[in-house]
Structure 1
Amino acid sequence: MRVLLTGSSGWLGRCLAPMLRAQGHDVIGLDHAPGIETGIVGTVADSALVASVFDAHRFDGVIHAAALHKPDIARHPRQAFVDTNVTGTLHLLEAAVRHGVGRFVFTSTTSLMITAAIREERGAAAVWLDEESGPLRPRNIYGATKRAAEDLCRLVHADHRLPVIVLRTARFFPEDDDTHRDLSGENMKANEFLNRRLTVEDCARAHIVALNQAPRIGFGLYIVSAPTPFRPAEAGALKSDAAAVIARHFPAAPALYAARGWSLPAGIGRVYDASAIARDLGFRCRTDFAAVLDALGTGGPLPFAHDPAYVSPAAGDR
């Protein structure tokens, strides 16, 4: 297939483009920032550019990963989020319809599911989050615009039957969290594989599976995260004493963490359930918390990327 990949200079795009080519696809990368995987420099907010790109290439599929993200809130006004995340998505969807593109994958985020109450962990139990969770009340412009873009994907599919799969991805960024400093970056990322993280490689694989299966599915929306070892019945215990729950599932975890000088989470406030994408698309992340413990036990490299110095391509605009 000839595939348009937006966001090709970003963290996901740089991983995804080589994987697509390795499977025999012809990849055209579009990004506002130059990059090794980017053949066309420009923004999806530019309707004339988007039209010209589709006129010049006969795309079989589109993977739309370009976006302004949560850290970009400090660098860009709200209108820039609307222009890129909402208007840009509409430009691509409409161009895909006009040109008879056979499949469209949209990179969304689990962040839009997190209300202020969930973020502040006000409840007595961990919140179990799946594709039916709601009502959705995004807490910032990033989440609000990604939710609007999801709605556009659903609307265009309903009106034109364009096969679309929306992937609500959990965390896979390599940099440190910009709001939590209690744990080291590696310790925090390791903990998050229990409930809200995946590797960029697994995220890329999920996009390829979605691209391949979109015509069969028609329209689908899926959470993409490492499979959690927990069950909904453990939600109360996860909030009050997560370390004990983790030790029951992984008896070696406390000692392995102590040897590294790490801390298990005392409480977990939310859990992403990625079982739907496993059921419908047969996709399961290869890296999970057990893989993290295996690396700690053998002394091998951690199975995820950590780069405190990473800066999003969007930062280059300021």
Structure 2
Amino acid sequence: MRRRSTMDRSGTAPPYLRIVREIKRRVEAGELRAGDRVPSTRQVAEQWGVARATAAKALDTLRQEGVVVAISRVGTVVAEPAPGSFPPPRAPSAPKRKERQQPAHDGKRERMVRTAIAIADAQGFDAVSIRGVATALGIPTMSLYGLVRGKEELAALMADAAFGELELPAMPPASWRARLELAARLQWRLYLRHPWLPRLVSLTHPQPTPNMLRYGDWGMGVVRELGIDPDTGRFVWWAVTNYVRGTAANLEPQAESERHTGLSAGEWYSAHMPRFHAGLPSSGLPTRVAPAGDQSAFDLAGFFENGLQLLLDGVAVLIGRQRLP
């Protein structure tokens, strides 16, 4: 059954124009912001119950009007609005007294970062460039250098914006283990959404950005309550977060390998396991990596969960030793 939009169809305007007006409304209301993807031709056709030709005409009209822009291998995203064309998304109402108004360039930088994230999500971090982001936004490349000094600073902003997506519960689990599990899984799910992110998070050269500090302080809260010395507590937190990052570092290469070979991780192991055994006859490698009859079931997420439990088992032993009289 096709999903129908709640948009009113009682008007006399052609169907494609009603779609155009609805997408514009979403942009003006801040439901869609610069860099956000808009529905594809197929999705528009399904959502509004129209022919694909009508959906294509609606998107083409939006492109001609500068509301959206097509990015190669990404799709169609909301464009940087031209001055005076329509209100900027999520524009604040009258500022409160004694409250500093947000500098104009902050909104532009946020749209730049969101666009860079959209490109990285679709094509990987290597596809991100100042020029590519400027092209996606439909603005001159040099105008972005007034917002960031280069790709390194843009990468830090992207990482911090991604960590800003984390919803940290105000009332976390009471036990140290449940809280560390939650912290690890929140981070893992963030990396699943953004497979390029692990490469921007460093153990040796961390970026003290607001959202990453917020996550670290929240996670360290339970470590501070463990009753172990502070140095050991820091190592516990670093071990957990770096384990998640290290495991997630396989996500982007895995996706690239699957695109290149057409094989899932389980299928790859099954096809190459005989060669592993032939090359390392004394290694004791398992003859299969998935349950019998399901050689495609190898799952990095399962590997992550099992490794997390092993790591936390070790933390439990460490805590027990430090609490001994």
Question: If the TM-score is normalised by the length of the shorter chain, which range does it land in?
Answer: under 0.3
Higher RCO structure (Cα 8 Å, ≥6 apart): 1
Q: TM-score, normalised by structure 2?
A: 0.24
Q: TM-score, normalised by structure 1?
A: 0.25
